[in-house]
Chain A
Amino acid sequence: MHLFNVQKTLHAGKLTEKILKLFMATGNENILSLIQSLNIQHILLPVLPTKNMSVEIKDNEVDIVITALQPDLTSFMEDWRPIISQFHIIIVKEPGLEEDLQIPQGFDHQIYTGSDIQRIAGHTSITFSGHSCCYIGYLVSQKKYVISIDSDCLPARDKNGCVVDAVAQHIANLQTPATPFFFNTLYDPYRTGADFVRGYPFSLRTGVQCVLSCGLWLNLADYDAPTQAVKPNERNHRYVDAVLTVPARAMMPVSGINIAFDREIMGPTFFPGFRLPEEGKQRWESMEDIWCGLCAKVVGDHLGHGVKSGLPYVWRSASANRGDAFGSLKRGWEGVKLMEEVVPFFQSVRLPRTAVTAEECVFEIAKMVSERLGQSNAVFSKAAAAMIEWVKLWKTVNSQQA
């Protein structure tokens, strides 16, 4: 009798939450199995803003990776001491540097030199020079999280004149969820004093894991060579007090100057694959971090993770602009031209469902790069080859460390 009533109620379209509860309360086995077989579920109650998806990150789970492009790191490390001294630091020495590195006392650190790089990756075709030395640091790290800041950057000050702890901010960004599926107009809803706004679907308020945190730069912004050449005196004074999730499927230029990421999940997406023919040591003469960032965004989107951008700021000093922007135009221009193809390519990448790890995703992307871009420029076919080699290298090095 009861079972018939359930069915009748269902067909009449009158099975509400209340009535469902009444039927289930009868305890009648037939009813319960019918409900189960039809997969009738309770309506989810709206989830109030909570910090459910937050993770806790301990200091010993973090590596700070610094690339030494010049031997004297004393003032850099002293300036950052209050912020980084409690972390393990990996310093990668640019292979071209002859002199010994000068590093002040009191830092728990490990140095990797050209011969280490040779030992670890010499058998591959991947080269590490200039800023791209950082990738060796990412590779050998045994921590879950990596934070990397260029050695010509200093701690910034916020609008109140307080020193910005960029490391703590990156950690906070990685700890709290990202919200890539719907834009929150008050930016990061997990920050104190903010929340999800009216109209934000409740089912999306738990967010997803944040795997990449992209910081910004005061003073010298990360501009390309043409922009630097046209605006040599422009300085970024605008402190935008926001962290926001870059929405799913939106592509962005990730700068390697000031980033942090979940190495365990995303490590394989960061590698020096995209090398310009006459790449120099200035940031504006390279695009490999931009390439990695596009990979990382595609991979993150596919795996259902989030990417944040905004705070923290670092102060990028004038030494980052050593060199002649006009002179670099020739080298920088190549990268600028190639971006015209690179960005639409990444916007169109669709990864197969079977790719469930970053390694698998990178492998798939490498195949697509080879197929779709390989013909147009040797840079692309080399990048594809480097990606595949990197994935293999990553697996090898990480299994050795395990």
Chain B
Amino acid sequence: MSAAHGRQGEVPVVPVSPPLKDELDIVIPTIRNLDFLEMWRPFFQPYHLIIVQDGDPSKTIRVPEGFDYELYNRNDINRILGPKASCISFKDSACRCFGYMVSKKKYIYTIDDDCFVAKDPSGKDINALAQHIQSLLSPSTPHFFNTLYDPYREGADFVRGYPFSMREGVPTAVSHGLWLNIPDYDAPTQLVKPLERNTRYVDAVLTIPKGTLFPMCGMNLAFNRDLIGAAMYFGLMGDGQPIGRYDDMWAGWCCKVICDHLGLGVKTGLPYIFHSKASNPFVNLRKEYKGIYWQEDIIPFFQSVALPKDCTTVQRCYLELSKLVKEKLGPIDPYFLKLAEAMVTWIEAWDELNTPKSSPESAAVSKAPNGTPAKK
């Protein structure tokens, strides 16, 4: 490849073995069943799964044969984290972030159990995981917008006027995928447009510019756990909480602010999955109601966050963020005081499970030899 374009880390067109087979975990939260995995088998089977079972721990979730997995239910979460388990949501897919915490891998792909393999316009099945991996392994370009979208894709490049000094890009921390069929709308929009289906296949991956926030959906999401994992806390949602369906949003805003600060990139666009289940808009409205009002204050808050220069690790950024949340959002509702505390608890738990016992000081991230998985 031409040195002038700095194309590093592109996945080979014909991989010898599934890319990142031993470096990526697939985290799946579920409360129902894992039947959807059958459709994903050709793409997921080589990878290790972390199943986070929400709801009643006495229920048995059957994992289809042939998958290598670890499964955690609420009892496991309580056992492993002890009092710190309070930061992990119950009766909400936000519990999935426990899976990020216990993973030992460098990369995570998370997907909802109502998401299936989509087809591209030619009718071919889309290997969403492979596309995410490609996005994560190629640089992002947050400092200047490329009008031809991802310049590292085959058949594209940087356009005239794009400064050469910016063509190396920055490491990609997050790859945000999209959904065909049932789009990720909020309750009011669902109520107004119950029949709308997303049929538009937009053949693009693009970097979200630095300084711009976005709504991150956790249905089809991959990230570099080493680079940003500690900030992927999905907040306090579900049982006992005044809000739901803002878990991924919260994580996305925190992550974007931290990525912007640390010089990391966030991509959005391909791959598409097929989202089959439309959740009940009235239930959703109940869950989102407060969030719809609160986000009017939350967004300006995140837009105005300036992290101090000495926050050079994700954990320190996140702890600083938790202080700001307490200070600036606390006055809106006591929920944010709880959330700020939970953010601290999350980091403590993350560091406990992810730092070798010999060095208590947490570095950017390091793999943990401790934390044995509960295999069933």
Contacts and interface: CB of A to CB of B under 8 A. Distances in A.
Do A and B associate with each other? yes
Interface of A: 43, 46, 48-49, 159, 182-187, 191, 193-204, 214, 216, 221-224, 226-227, 230-231, 234-242, 246-255, 283-284, 287, 290, 293, 309, 336, 339-340, 342-343, 347
Contact of A343 (B144, B192, B246, B293): B144
DSSP class of B's interface residues: helix, strand, loop or mixed?
A: loop
Contacts of B246: 199
Given A246-B145, A249-B211, A339-B161, A197 B192 contact: no
B216 to A, nearest CB: 8
B46 interface: no
A183 B161 contact: no
Contacts, number: 194
A115 to B, nearest CB: 32
Given A159-B121, A199-B246, A255 B212 contact: no
Contact of A214 (B147, B162, B203, B204): B147
Shortest 8 CB-CB distances between A and B: which pairs?
A: A199-B215, A253-B161, A250-B209, A290-B161, A252-B145, A247-B212, A183-B214, A199-B249
Nearest to A239: B203
Contacts of B214: 182-185
A185 B214 CA distance: 7
A238 B296 contact: no
DSSP class of A's interface residues: helix, strand, loop or mixed?
A: loop
Nearest to B212: A247
Nearest to A309: B147
B213 A183 contact: yes
B42 interface: no
A251 B147 CA distance: 11
B184 A183 contact: no
A16 to B, nearest CB: 12
Nearest to A248: B212
B276 to A, nearest CB: 17
Contacts of A241: 200-203
A207 B319 CA distance: 34
A201 B296 contact: yes
B56 to A, nearest CB: 27
Nearest to A283: B160
B16 interface: no
Contact of A198 (B144, B199, B202, B249): B249
Given A186-B198, A193-B200, A250-B211, A203 B296 contact: yes
B50 interface: no
B335 interface: no
A216 B206 CA distance: 15
Interface string B208-227: 11111111110000000000
A231 B157 contact: yes
Contacts of B201: 241
B164 to A, nearest CB: 6
A193 B193 CA distance: 10
Contacts of B161: 224, 253-255, 287, 290, 293, 339
Given A221-B159, A253-B160, A195 B165 contact: no
B211 A247 contact: yes
Contact of B183 (A43, A195, A230, A231): A195
Contacts of B210: 250
B164 A240 contact: no
B188 A48 contact: yes
B196 interface: yes
A199 B256 CA distance: 14
Contacts of B364: none
Contacts of B155: 234-238
A342 B188 CA distance: 44
A252 B144 contact: yes
A247 B268 CA distance: 14
B299 interface: yes
Contacts of A194: 183, 198, 200
A202 B165 contact: no
A343 B288 CA distance: 41
B200 A340 contact: no
Contact of B163 (A184, A202, A340): A340
Interface in B180-199: 183-186, 188-189, 192-193, 196-199
Contacts of B216: 199
A200 B209 CA distance: 17
Contacts of A185: 176, 178, 184, 214-215, 217, 268
Contacts of B202: 187, 240-242
Contacts of B215: 182-185, 197-200
